[in-house]
A and B are shown apart, each in its own frame.
Chain A
Amino acid sequence: MLIFLLRRLLQACVVMTVISIISFVIQDSLGDPVRQMVGQSVSPAEIEQIRQEQGFNDTKFEQYTRYAKNVLQGDFGTSYFYKEPALDVILKKLPATFELAFSAIIIIIMVSIPCGIFAAIRPKNILARFLMFSSTIGLSVPIFIVGIFLLYTFSIELQWTPSFGRGDTVLVFGIWETGFLTLDGLSHLILPSFSLAIALLPMFVRLIRSEMLEVLHSEYVKYAWAKGLSPARIYFVHAFKNTMLPIITIGGIQVGTLVAYTILTETIFQWPGMGSLFLDAVNRVDSPLISAYLIVVGAIFVISNTLVDLIYGYINPTVKLASHGL
């Protein structure tokens, strides 16, 4: 286990280095930072002087090492717009995005597993066919249409749910603004989390169904029938456990997609999270913020995939994390 984590840490370092290079390149190529700082009324000679002082005339390699050194110390530069450290700005928005993504993941798990299993066990049932049909539609409709449709139906026409923002939040542990603890916060969460979930749900329903169908045809499931086990035990223990293995792997990769979709969802519902912050930063060419966002998201991805591998090793006994380190 320790070897696995150490090895993972090493991999994470490589991944994070690559991400930092990418974000450095982005930051470096997004316009002229000096012009951003000083505005129009400065002479070219003065600009050249500032350029020299700020180190923009150094080689790219020197600039990157300086950038990487600062990043390692937690200094991602100062946001041009907020005039605050970029990392602080992002971390302030992290709870909102985390809670949105977390609720969406819970919805995906709670809905896709029963639907997928049902569709695999009773492939000819009308409800199962309807599920498959609607999942095809769900796969092909982009999230911003789903989000706007939900918004229009439930907030504007029916007026059941609030249409934008996070509602009331409570500060817990001194750092975390949560919307889970207030009724208002929860009601604001419903629409965004559902539209985010709907973006990934159809894929998972189809995936679980097809994996389950395959497992149901395996020898060990046939043998389980021959042993006279109850159908519930065969479906939910023998077949489901094996179905979950590939699903978990894909789920880990889909965390990246989920993060990408939070940007869209947060924009539609004006959810004050990292995603909408990122989009604003892009519009304002706030390059320190953009690169800081990329690195934070990269870190989230690495951490979530490590967790996924740990869960995988727990379910699949043939993977020994301790001895092989994967």
Chain B
Amino acid sequence: MTLLDVRNLNVCFGLKSGVMQALYDVSFSLERGERVALVGESGAGKSILGFSIVNLISKPGFIESGSIKLDGKELTQLSHRQLRHVRGKRIAMIFQDPMMTLNPVISVGVQMVEAIRSHTTMSKKDAKKIAIDRLAQVQIPSPELRFDQFPHELSGGMRQRVIIAIAMILNPDIIIADEPTTALDVTIQAEILELLKHMCEVCNVALILITHDLGVVSRVAERTMVMYAGRIVEEGPTLEIINDPQHPYTQGLLSALPQMALPGQRLNQITGSMPSLMNRPSGCAFHPRCKYATEKCSVEQPGYIYSGISTVACYMVEDMLSEFSEYDEV
């Protein structure tokens, strides 16, 4: 049974100037222990998708329609109180900037123990024992000492380790990591990713990794979803997507990697920039920047199609596939 099943999720923001749609018909599923990456430019709606799973979208955002099922249980219908026991206990989150995530005036230990005690009836002493165990698991030296320290006494990488420890503290089913390494030193990024991957493997935790760094994706995730302007445009196994991208946007993203350009040459880029959610282009949102765009692209949004490699929403791919197959109209 799928662990997490998101179907036709639409998320909107109610603004004074009208309703702005941030997520369009997003559907995906996640198996137990599976690691999925969510990539795209800033503003594509990756973080909003991550937060809307536990209904933590900041106001005035709201889930307009769609379903989010965790183990078959509908999350969008839960009360605040019920949802509170999903957050942190079954679905844990890791935020982008470890400098801002931990409360500066509360000690590391208290912030760990409170996470345990708000979901269980464990005694303070037992909770402390678990917390120190977890700190040791995320390779923090002398965890007993760190337990009583305050966030400002820890380095950035150390703090992100603490946050990973807090995420793991109640053995959740899913961890949603929103750009967990973006704010870190490059030298530490790899360590933290390795740790995150290792912890997920050991504890059999599913991971949704939100990132714009394709290098990160290939190292950690088995499956990748590419988002553009609030919609998933391509989805498939990470290796396939990186080696043989189907959607023109994914192709653009990959060719923009610095290692794709020859020395001395200008780096490749996708011309233009992502549209703001306020004035989303008609049809396929990517068509103004797409070099394969036809008239059809600007009129109607393409549906999803399985290319044999990945699931893509693009007319160009659709046309190519129908040329190859003699009988099937796709």
Residues of A within 8 A of B (CB): 218-220, 222-230, 233, 237-238, 241-242, 245, 315-318
Give the residue among A227, A242, A317 with the most B Cβ atoms within 10 A: A227
Which 3 A-B residue pairings sit nearest by Cβ, starting from the closest?
A228-B88, A228-B87, A219-B100
A219's partner among B84, B101, B115, B152 (CB-CB below 8 A) is B101
Q: B208 within 8 Å of A by Cβ? A: no
A230-B84, A242-B105 known; A225 and B115 CB under 8 Å?
no
A223-B101, A241-B106, A316-B105 known; A228 and B166 CB under 8 Å?
no
B104's partner among A228, A237, A242 (CB-CB below 8 A) is A242
Q: B101 contacts which chain A residues (CB < 8 A)?
A: 219-220, 223
A222-B56, A222-B58, A223-B93 known; A228 and B100 CB under 8 Å?
no
User: Which residue in chain A gives the minimum CB-CB distance to B104?
Assistant: A318
Main secondary structure of the interface of B (DSSP, over half): loop
A219-B97, A227-B88, A318-B150 known; A242 and B103 CB under 8 Å?
yes
| Complex Cα spacing A213 to B56, Å | 17
**Is B103 a contact of A318 with CB atoms below 8 Å?**
no
Q: List 6 A-B contacts (CB under 8 A).
A: A222-B95, A237-B114, A238-B103, A241-B103, A242-B104, A318-B104
Q: B22 within 8 Å of A by Cβ? A: no
Q: B253 within 8 Å of A by Cβ? A: no
B114's partner among A220, A222, A225, A229 (CB-CB below 8 A) is A229
Q: Which residues of B, 146-196, contact A by the 8 Å Cβ criterion?
A: 150, 152, 166
Q: B127 within 8 Å of A by Cβ? A: no
**Is B106 a contact of A238 with CB atoms below 8 Å?**
yes
**Is A228 a contact of B89 with CB atoms below 8 Å?**
yes
Count of CB-CB pairs between chains A and B under 8 Å? 75
* Chain B residues touching A, range: 20 to 34
| Complex Cα spacing A218 to B93, Å | 16
User: Which residue in chain B gives the minimum CB-CB distance to A318?
Assistant: B152
Q: A224 contacts which chain B residues (CB < 8 A)?
A: 103
A226-B87, A228-B84 known; A317 and B104 CB under 8 Å?
yes
Q: A245 contacts which chain B residues (CB < 8 A)?
A: 105
Q: A228 contacts which chain B residues (CB < 8 A)?
A: 84-89, 115, 118-119
Q: B297 within 8 Å of A by Cβ? A: no
Q: Besides A219-B97, A226-B87, A315-B105, 20 other CB < 8 A contacts?
A: A220-B100, A220-B102, A222-B56, A223-B95, A223-B101, A224-B103, A226-B56, A226-B88, A226-B92, A226-B95, A227-B87, A227-B115, A227-B118, A228-B119, A229-B84, A229-B88, A229-B114, A237-B106, A241-B105, A317-B107
Closest beta carbon of chain B to A199's beta carbon, Å: 30
Contact string, B76-120, partner A, CB cutoff 8 A, digits 1/0?
000000001111110011010100111111110000001100110
Closest beta carbon of chain B to A26's beta carbon, Å: 43
Q: B88 contacts which chain A residues (CB < 8 A)?
A: 226-229
| Complex Cα spacing A233 to B116, Å | 13
Q: B84 contacts which chain A residues (CB < 8 A)?
A: 228-230
Give the residue among A225, A230, A233, A242 with the most B Cβ atoms within 10 A: A225
| Complex Cα spacing A87 to B101, Å | 54
B150's partner among A223, A225, A238, A317 (CB-CB below 8 A) is A317
Q: A222 contacts which chain B residues (CB < 8 A)?
A: 56, 58, 95
| Complex Cα spacing A233 to B88, Å | 15
Q: B118 contacts which chain A residues (CB < 8 A)?
A: 227-230, 233
| Complex Cα spacing A73 to B97, Å | 58
Closest beta carbon of chain B to A43's beta carbon, Å: 72
Closest beta carbon of chain B to A243's beta carbon, Å: 10
User: Which residue in chain A gives the minimum CB-CB distance to B87?
Assistant: A228
Closest beta carbon of chain A to B178's beta carbon, Å: 10
Q: B54 within 8 Å of A by Cβ? A: yes
Closest beta carbon of chain B to A228's beta carbon, Å: 3
Q: B58 contacts which chain A residues (CB < 8 A)?
A: 222
| Complex Cα spacing A233 to B117, Å | 11
User: Which residue in chain A gives the minimum CB-CB distance to B163?
Assistant: A223
Q: A220 contacts which chain B residues (CB < 8 A)?
A: 100-104
Closest beta carbon of chain A to B291's beta carbon, Å: 39
Closest beta carbon of chain B to A247's beta carbon, Å: 13
User: Which residue in chain A gives the minimum CB-CB distance to B86?
Assistant: A228
User: Which residue in chain B gives the minimum CB-CB distance to A221?
Assistant: B103
Q: B100 contacts which chain A residues (CB < 8 A)?
A: 218-220
Q: A230 contacts which chain B residues (CB < 8 A)?
A: 84, 118
| Complex Cα spacing A153 to B71, Å | 65
| Complex Cα spacing A229 to B150, Å | 19
| Complex Cα spacing A111 to B296, Å | 65
| Complex Cα spacing A226 to B114, Å | 13
Closest beta carbon of chain A to B182's beta carbon, Å: 13
**Is B166 a contact of A219 with CB atoms below 8 Å?**
no
User: Which residue in chain B gives the minimum CB-CB distance to A229?
Assistant: B118
Closest beta carbon of chain B to A218's beta carbon, Å: 7
Closest beta carbon of chain B to A266's beta carbon, Å: 38
| Complex Cα spacing A318 to B149, Å | 11
| Complex Cα spacing A315 to B150, Å | 12
Closest beta carbon of chain A to B60's beta carbon, Å: 12
